[in-house]
Amino acid sequence: MEFNKVQDLIAETLGCDAQQVTMEASLADDLGADSLASVELVMALEEATGVHIEDADMEHFKTVGDIMAYLSSHKE
């Protein structure tokens, strides 16, 4: 999935400005994702990409770059 699409999805789900969503941005510290928002984000990513994300894998998502790396390594 292209970064721009993931960027828009994260901004929409977390209610932040898309310009804040960079590869280095921390989901919690920079974008304000709490545990509920993280679950909502994973559900949105799964729906948009068709990639199932395990709960254990979700815990490793600290930055936007972590999400991009996961999606690129798990695309069908």
Positions marked catalytic = 34
By C-alpha distance, which of 36, 14, 40 is closest to 27? Answer: 14
Rounded distance between C-alpha atoms, residue 45 and residue 35, angstroms: 15
> Do residues 23 and 61 touch, judged by C-beta distance below 8 A?
no
